[in-house]
Amino acid sequence: MSIVNGLFRVQKLMRPSVTLARCLLPATGHLSHRTISTPRGVGHQRWVTSVNRSLSTKVAEEGYHSIIRDQEKGVGSSDKHEFQAETRMLLDIVARSLYSDKEVFVRELVSNASDALEKFRFLVQSSPEGANEYAECDRALEIHIGTNKQDRQLTLQDTGIGMTREELIANLGTIARSGSKHFIEQLKESGRGSQENVQNIIGQFGVGFYSAFMVADRVDVYTRSARTGSPGLKWSSDGSGTFEIQEAEGVAIGTKIVIHLKADCREFADEDRIREVIRRYSNFVGSPIFLNGKQANQIQPIWLMEPKQVTPEQHNEFYRFVGNTFDTPRFTLHYKTDVPLSIRALLYFPEGKPGLFEMSRDADGGVALYTRKVLIQSKTENLLPKWLRFLKGVVDSEDIPLNLSRELLQNSSLIRKLRIALTNRTLRFLHDRSQKEPESYDKFYRDYGLFLKEGIVTSQEQQEKEEIAKLLRFETSREPNRTVSLPEYCQGQAEGQKDIYYLAAPNRTLAEASPYYESLKKRGIEVLFCYEAYDELVLMQLGMFLGKNLISVEKEMRRSDASSTADQDGLLEGSLLKTQIDELLPWIKQRLAGKVSNVKTTGKLDSHPCVVTVEEMAAARHFIKTQSHNMSEENRYALLQPQFEINPKHPIIKKLHKLTTSDPELAELLANQLFSNAMVGAGLVDDPRMLLTSMNDLLQKVLDKH
Ligand SMILES: Nc1ncnc2c1ncn2[C@@H]1O[C@H](COP(=O)(O)OP(=O)(O)OP(=O)(O)O)[C@@H](O)[C@H]1O
């Protein structure tokens, strides 16, 4: 008590501008040796810092500091409100949940308290009228937690922004939180699902304030907004369907949450249990957390430490804190630079595979932006490109002015510069990992390769696309079970090979048997095999790499006319004669009218009778898979413009030529079947069952003769 009184006395002695500066300081009370600009000007910093230091030392010496008092009391009548329907549903599920990690409610409430402190710090900082608009700006920004075993109570109190009556109704009566919204949506989709399902979803999103009802019979919230002249308020609910609000006296600025614990959750009234939970999830919260009067968190900004001095344990803890996660980081990128911008970055690559939620482009990024230890925004959009949304961590840049508004942050050229620098550094780091830890990198690539591909497709800069592309890996025609990068492929190219060839197929066997690959195989040219859906679209989007064109094998086949001219001259041994070809091509074209745009011969096939080529095979396949379902066959062919290429040396084609005169009906069935087969081979038929009827007609006709 005496220390607390002493503390306030010293604060009162400070001049107003100094006390304001005190609340602008990073709540850590740690020392910044730089001068921070405040709305009231620059200059008192060193003095304030030293006062702060002596105050915190004093607190530390005496070891006890608590603001929790049992002094709040509701006065007058109370208003009854109903929770929004979705909130009721959420509360209902949360209360009945057997979720084993109930302790996460502490993390959620501490995180809300910390947000409330940061919001206050930020508002005062960015508002020139800060000192007038807000009351008691000189109060210390802290979080206090009190346990009371006897009454089975847990209390969390912060000195942050607090809430007005309207805010109370909106914030604690409806679902504002994006995570909770997703939670409800998922739940609706899974038709409420099994208990296990519900638990997984809660674990994935967290449900914010409402998670308190996992452990509470009743929750009382006392709050007073920091805006000058705001009244104290009490919010109370048992989490069933309604909540009550009334005015209250004895309420300090900020928010105090009193949790009346359920009988089977009495463990959370135990100091040691809560200390353990704080250590696990909230150790690095940027403001001091006092548990029963003793500081319980570390609040050391480890991203500002020398990278070599941070232990793996510290990284693990910090990663769990910033990432809201249970795993450990697989890679850690911790670096600092002053050119071209001042950057202190600590970025983690998650160990776990990305969940469905992270895969969605709607998912938030996981990197917080600080400037000189002051949090500007926890999930800063645009700080990294969307495709790097799986990264967790912190970026601190002294070049970001303290009073830059969050809206301005979205479009700031500074943020753009930061993004470019961070992206380049991350790419360089991954490239390094691929060289120094190829096995770990390959595993990362298996888990997160899709994000890299998204980066190539979404990036606007060819140079950036190519930098990302260096990280891709493909098996090639040369050797099974071994992947190569694009630079390695280029190094292995024969002199004079101008292009990079790729082939999309579901697996190696189909790739090797592809008719489009036959001629390149004969020429001994290495081809990248793409087994993943979208790979070919990614390479098509990439277009070029190190000045070489990326060409699909289908395109290569279609574009080379030279050899087919040779065919048409009848130069190839065992081929149909030119006169026969001249008869056959128009005949086929007529029989396949409405389906093919052109029929020609090719010298690039050996064991296959024919293929279909289209202008851009990857785009065509994507179109067939995603958009062609409601389209007539006629329109589909009109859009695809397939070119039918036949092999004039192949026995079936030679036979076809004969049949055009000896048995035109059978010849027509055969031509149609060959075309349909080629369309299947090209991956341009979404359901091959369509072919069965015509195939049976053909078989029947052939078997008639026997
Ligand atoms: N201690 C607090 N002080 C002031 N406002 C609070 C406090 N706790 C909660 N709130 C308000 O209630 C709102 C709802 O809280 P909840 O935890 O459900 O979601 P959230 O914190 O907004 O979610 P998210 O973490 O996704 O941003 C908060 O956005 C905040 O405005």
Q: How far is the CA of 139 from the centre of ligand 1 (A)?
A: 21
Establish whether 382 is an annotated binding residue. Answer: no
Tens digit of each residue's pLDDT (9 = 90 or more) over 116-140: 998 888 778 766 665 678 888 888 9
- What is the C-alpha R_g of the chain? 34
Q: Considering only CA atoms, which residue is closest to atom 7 of ligand 1?
A: 112
Residue 440 has φ and ψ, to the nearest 5°, of: -65, -40
Angle (CA) 506 512 515, round 5°: 95
Q: What ipTM was predicted for this assembly?
A: 0.97
Q: Is the dihedral of CA 645, 649, 655, 659 positive or negative?
A: positive
Supply the pLDDT for residue 282. 78
Residue 191 CA to residue 687 CA, distance in Å, equals: 31
Q: Which two tokens stand for residue 168?
A: 């109370």
User: Could you give the 3-state DSSP secondary structure of residue 392?
Assistant: strand
Angle (CA) 75 79 83, round 5°: 130
Longest dimension (CA), the chain: 113
Q: How far is the CA of 283 from the centre of ligand 1 (A)?
A: 19
Task: State if residue 113 touches ligand 1 by the CB under 6 angstroms criterion.
Answer: yes
Residue with token string 């919260």? 285
DSSP code of residue 692:
H
Q: How far is the CA of 323 from the centre of ligand 1 (A)?
A: 18
Supply the pLDDT for residue 128. 63
Task: State if residue 600 touches ligand 1 by the CB under 6 angstroms criterion.
Answer: no
Provide the 10 A C-beta neighbour count for residue 577: 12
Query: How do 216-224 and 232-237 pair as beta strands?
Result: antiparallel
Supply the pLDDT for residue 273. 96
Asked if 657 and 615 count as a contact pair (C-beta separation under 8 A), the reply is: no
Asked if 468 and 452 count as a contact pair (C-beta separation under 8 A), the reply is: yes
Supply the pLDDT for residue 566. 46
Asked if 511 and 463 count as a contact pair (C-beta separation under 8 A), the reply is: no
Closest-CA residue to 616 (of 684, 565, 548):
684
Provide the 10 A C-beta neighbour count for residue 596: 21
User: Could you give the 3-state DSSP secondary structure of residue 396?
Assistant: strand
User: CATH 3.40.50.11260 region(s) of the chain?
Assistant: 434-558
Testing ligand 1's pocket by substitution, the residue of 134, 209, 258 carrying the most ligand atoms inside 8 A of its CB is: 209
Residue 383 has φ and ψ, to the nearest 5°, of: -70, -35
Task: State if residue 170 touches ligand 1 by the CB under 6 angstroms criterion.
Answer: no
Residue 245 CA to residue 253 CA, distance in Å, equals: 17
Testing ligand 1's pocket by substitution, the residue of 109, 115, 221, 362 carrying the most ligand atoms inside 8 A of its CB is: 115
Task: State if residue 143 touches ligand 1 by the CB under 6 angstroms criterion.
Answer: no
Q: Considering only CA atoms, which residue is closest to atom 11 of ligand 1?
A: 171
Q: What CATH code is assigned to 578-704?
A: 1.20.120.790
**Which neighbouring-strand residues pair with 528?**
476, 502
Closest-CA residue to 258 (of 206, 215, 208):
215
The 3-class SS string of 140-172 reads CCCEEEEEECCCCEEEEEECCCCCCHHHHHHHC
**Which neighbouring-strand residues pair with 347?**
333, 393
Establish whether 208 is an annotated binding residue. Answer: yes
Q: CB within 8 A of 520, min separation 6: which ones?
A: 477, 501, 527, 553, 556
Ligand 1 atom closest to the CA of 209, numbered from 1: 17
Distances (CA, A) of 246 to 76, 154, 620, 670: 7, 22, 64, 85
Q: Which two tokens stand for residue 391?
A: 């990264």
Residue 697 CA to residue 700 CA, distance in Å, equals: 5
Helices (H), 164-281: 165-171, 178-189, 195-205, 271-281
Residue 14 CA to residue 25 CA, distance in Å, equals: 15
Supply the pLDDT for residue 559. 78
* Amino acid in position 391: L
Supply the pLDDT for residue 598. 94
Of 3.20.20.70, 3.30.565.10, 3.90.1300.10, 1.10.10.350, which CATH number belongs to 88-295?
Answer: 3.30.565.10
User: CATH 3.30.565.10 region(s) of the chain?
Assistant: 88-295
Ligand 1 atom closest to the CA of 162, numbered from 1: 4
Q: Which CATH class is domain 434-558?
A: alpha beta
**Which neighbouring-strand residues pair with 259?**
154, 219
Cis, peptide link before residue 651, omega less than 30° from 0: no
Spans of the chain below 70 pLDDT: 1-62, 97-100, 126-131, 176-207, 299, 357, 374-375, 401-411, 560-572
DSSP string, 397-432: -TTS-TT--HHHHHH-HHHHHHHHHHHHHHHHHHHH
Task: State if residue 287 touches ligand 1 by the CB under 6 angstroms criterion.
Answer: no
Angle (CA) 75 77 78, round 5°: 100
Q: Which fold has domain 302-432?
A: Ribosomal Protein S5; domain 2 (3.30.230)
Supply the pLDDT for residue 14. 30
Residue 394 has φ and ψ, to the nearest 5°, of: -140, 140
Q: Which two tokens stand for residue 102?
A: 């109930």
User: CATH 1.20.120.790 region(s) of the chain?
Assistant: 578-704
| Relative orientation angle of helices 692-703 and 664-681, to the nearest 10 degrees | 140
Asked if 519 and 557 count as a contact pair (C-beta separation under 8 A), the reply is: yes
User: CATH 3.30.230.80 region(s) of the chain?
Assistant: 302-432
Residue 533 CA to residue 504 CA, distance in Å, equals: 8
Provide the 10 A C-beta neighbour count for residue 654: 18
Sheet holding 242-249, edge to edge: 73-82, 242-249, 232-237, 216-224, 254-261, 153-158, 143-148, 289-291, 294-295
Q: Which two tokens stand for residue 359?
A: 């895969």
Establish whether 507 is an annotated binding residue. Answer: no
Supply the pLDDT for residue 134. 86
Tens digit of each residue's pLDDT (9 = 90 or more) over 179-195: 556 555 655 665 544 55
Alpha carbon 449 to its chain's center: 13
Q: How far is the CA of 109 from the centre of ligand 1 (A)?
A: 8
Establish whether 543 is an annotated binding residue. Answer: no
Establish whether 195 is an annotated binding residue. Answer: no
Q: Considering only CA atoms, which residue is closest to atom 12 of ligand 1?
A: 171
Supply the pLDDT for residue 88. 86
Residue with token string 């096995």? 439
Task: State if residue 160 touches ligand 1 by the CB under 6 angstroms criterion.
Answer: yes
Distances (CA, A) of 26 to 105, 396, 606: 25, 13, 73
**Which neighbouring-strand residues pair with 134?**
227
Residue 549 CA to residue 569 CA, distance in Å, equals: 31
Supply the pLDDT for residue 16. 31
